Amino acid sequence: MPTILDVARRAGVSKSLVSMVTRGEGGVSEEKRRAILEAIDELDYRPNAMARGLVQRQTRILGVMISDLQNPFFGAVISGIQERAEERGFRVLITTGDRTPSVEESAMENLLELRVDGLILASPRVGDEAIAHAGRSVPVVVLNRDTNDDSSDSVTNDNIAGARLAVEHLVSFGHRRIAFIEGGVGAGARIRREGYLRAMRDFGLEEEIVTVEGRHTEEGGHQGAMELLKMRVLPTAVFASNDLCAIGAMTAFEEAGLSIPDDLSLVGYDNNRMAALRHISLTTIDQPGGDMGRSAVERLLERIDGDRTEPSHDVVSPSLVVRSTTGPPRFEAKA
Amino acid sequence: MPTILDVARRAGVSKSLVSMVTRGEGGVSEEKRRAILEAIDELDYRPNAMARGLVQRQTRILGVMISDLQNPFFGAVISGIQERAEERGFRVLITTGDRTPSVEESAMENLLELRVDGLILASPRVGDEAIAHAGRSVPVVVLNRDTNDDSSDSVTNDNIAGARLAVEHLVSFGHRRIAFIEGGVGAGARIRREGYLRAMRDFGLEEEIVTVEGRHTEEGGHQGAMELLKMRVLPTAVFASNDLCAIGAMTAFEEAGLSIPDDLSLVGYDNNRMAALRHISLTTIDQPGGDMGRSAVERLLERIDGDRTEPSHDVVSPSLVVRSTTGPPRFEAKA
DNA sequence: TTGAAAGCGCTAACAC
DNA sequence: GTGTTAGCGCTTTCAA
Per residue in B243-286, pLDDT (tens digit) is 999 999 999 999 999 999 999 999 999 999 999 999 999 999 99
- Does B53 reside within a domain? no
pLDDT digits (tens, 9 = 90+) for B230-243: 999 999 999 999 99
Would the pLDDT of A120 be above 80?
yes
DSSP label of A136: H
Does residue B54 form part of some domain? Answer: no
Q: Is it the case that residue B179 has pLDDT exceeding 80?
A: yes
Q: Helices B243-255 & B218-229, crossing angle to 10 degrees?
A: 50
Report in angstroms the alpha-carbon separations of A90 from A69, A82, A108, A291: 22, 9, 18, 18
Residue in A50, A93, A137 closest to B95 by CB: A93
Q: Which residues of A touch B218 (CB under 8 A)?
A: 273, 277
Which CATH number characterizes residue A112's domain? 3.40.50.2300
Residues A150 and A238 in one domain: no
Determine the distance between A37 (CA) and C8 (C1') in angstroms. Answer: 26
Positive/negative CA dihedral, A323, A325, A327, A333: negative
Answer yes or no: is pLDDT of A13 > 90.
Answer: yes
Average pLDDT for residues A197-204, to the nearest whole number? Answer: 98
Q: Measured in whole angstroms, how far is the alpha carbon of residue A138 from the centre of its chain?
A: 19
Q: Are A165 and A320 in contact (CB under 8 A)?
A: yes
For residues A215 and A248, state if they share a domain.
yes
A310 or A334, which is more confident? A310
End-to-end CA distance of chain B: 77
Q: In this structure, what are the phi and psi dihedrals at residue A228, rounded to the nearest 5 degrees?
A: -60, -40
H-helix or E-strand spanning residue A63: strand A61-66
Dist CA B66 CA B78 (whole Å): 9
Which helix or strand (DSSP H or E) is residue A40 part of? helix A30-43
Considering the domain boundaries, does residue A149 fall inside one? Answer: yes
Tell whether the model's pLDDT for residue B334 goes beyond 70: no
Confidence (pLDDT) at B333: 45
Q: At what angle do helices A243-255 and A218-229 cross, to 10 degrees?
A: 40
For strand D, which nucleotides have at least one atom less than 7 Å from a protein CB? 1-5, 7-13
Same domain, B18 and B73: no
Q: Which residues of B touch A114 (CB under 8 A)?
A: 49-50, 114
**Are A70 and B69 in contact (CB < 8 Å)?**
no
- Structure confidence at residue B335 (pLDDT): 46
Please name which of B163, B143, B150 lies closest in space to residue B65, comparing C-alpha atoms. Answer: B143
Confidence of residue A334 (pLDDT cuts 50, 70, 90): very low
Is residue A26 located within the same domain as residue A90? no
Buried b (16+ CB within 10 A) or exposed e, A1-33: ebebeebbbbbebeeebbbbbbeeeeebeeebb
Higher-confidence residue: B176 or A126?
A: B176
d(C-alpha B104, C-alpha A135), whole Å: 30
Claim to verify: residue A150 and residue A297 sit in the same structural domain: yes
Kind plus residue range of the DSSP H or E element containing B313: strand B313-316
In a domain, A330, yes or no: no
| Distance, C-alpha A23 to centroid of its chain | 33
Q: Do A110 and B83 touch (CB under 8 A)?
A: no
A205 and A299: one domain? no
CB-CB contact of A270 with A208 (8 Å):
no
Each as own residue / partner, the long-range contacts of residues A20-26 (CB below 8 Å, 24 or more positions apart, any chain) are: A22/A47
Determine, yes or no, domain membership for B326. no
Cα(B148)–Cα(B153) distance, rounded to whole angstroms?
Answer: 10
Say which range, A137-146, B49-58, B95-104, B135-144, has the weakest mean pLDDT: B95-104
Helices (H) and strands (E) in chain B, counts: 13, 12
Cβ contacts (< 8 Å) between A96 and chain B: which residues? 78, 82, 92, 94
Percent of chain A with pLDDT over 90: 87
Chain B residues in contact with A84 by the CB 8 A cut-off are none
- Claim to verify: residue B283 and residue B174 sit in the same structural domain: yes
CB contact under 8 A, B250 and A74: no
pLDDT of residue A97: 83
With CA atoms as reference, the chain B residue closest to A260 would be: B279
**Average confidence (pLDDT) over B162-170:** 98
CB nearest to A93's CB, from B44, B93, B133:
B93
User: Quick one: pLDDT band at residue A332, thresholds 50, 70, 90?
Assistant: low
Q: A225 in a domain, yes or no?
A: yes
pLDDT at A110: 95
* pLDDT digits 0-9 by tens, B79-88: 999 999 999 9
Residue A40: inside a domain, yes or no?
Answer: yes
What confidence tens digit (pLDDT) does each residue in B119-139 have? 999 977 888 888 999 999 999
Q: What is the 8-class DSSP label of residue A27?
A: -
**Contact by Cβ (8 Å): A213, A241:** no
What CA–CA distance (Å, rounded) separates A313 from B255? 42
What pLDDT band is residue A188 in, cutting at 50, 70 and 90? confident
User: What distance, in Å, lies between the first and last C-alpha atoms of chain A?
Assistant: 77
| Cα B321 from Cα B268, distance rounded (Å) | 10
- The gap from C-alpha B254 to its chain's centroid, in whole angstroms, comes to 30
Domain check: are B171 and B227 in the same one?
yes
Contact A148, A169 (CB under 8 A): no
A65 and A39 inside one domain: no
SS3 B238: strand
Cβ-based contacts (< 7 Å) between B 27-66 and strand C: 45, 47-48, 51-52, 54-56
> Is residue B5 exposed (0-12), middle (13-18) or buried (19+ Cβ within 10 Å)?
exposed
Distance B47 CA to C10 C1' (A): 8
Host H or E run for residue B133? helix B128-135
Same domain, B186 and B196: yes
Nearest CB to B278: which of A98, A112, A251? Answer: A251
Q: How many CB atoms lie within 10 A of CB B101?
A: 15
Mean pLDDT across A122-150 = 87
* pLDDT computed for residue A333 by the predictor: 44
Q: What's this model's pTM, rounded to 2 decimal places?
A: 0.94
- Please state, rounded to an integer, the average pLDDT across all residues of chain A: 94
Overall number of domains in chain B: 3
The answer to whether residues A238 and A170 touch, using CB atoms and an 8 Å cutoff, is: no
Predicted pLDDT at B332: 54
Q: Has residue B333 been placed in a domain?
A: no
Q: Specify the CATH number for the domain of residue A33.
A: 1.10.260.40
Burial of A101 (0-12, 13-18, 19+ CB in 10 A): middle
pLDDT given for residue A96 in this prediction: 92
How high is the mean pLDDT of chain B? 94
Assess whether B94 and B113 both reside in one domain.
Answer: yes
**Residue A145: per-residue pLDDT:** 86
Give the CB-side neighbour count of residue A188, counting CA atoms within 13 A. Answer: 28
Would you state the pLDDT for residue A147?
Answer: 74
Work out the average pLDDT over A170-189: 94
Tell which strand C nucleotides have any atom below 7 Å from a protein Cβ. 1-5, 7-13
Contact B273, B243 (CB under 8 A): no
pLDDT in tens, B197-227: 999 999 999 999 999 999 999 999 999 999 9
For residue A64, give its domain range: 59-157+289-316
- Residue B330: which pLDDT band, with cuts at 50, 70 and 90? confident
Q: What is the mean pLDDT of residues A25-38?
A: 95
Task: With residue A203 as reference, give the H or E element that holds it.
Answer: none
Same domain, A151 and A293: yes
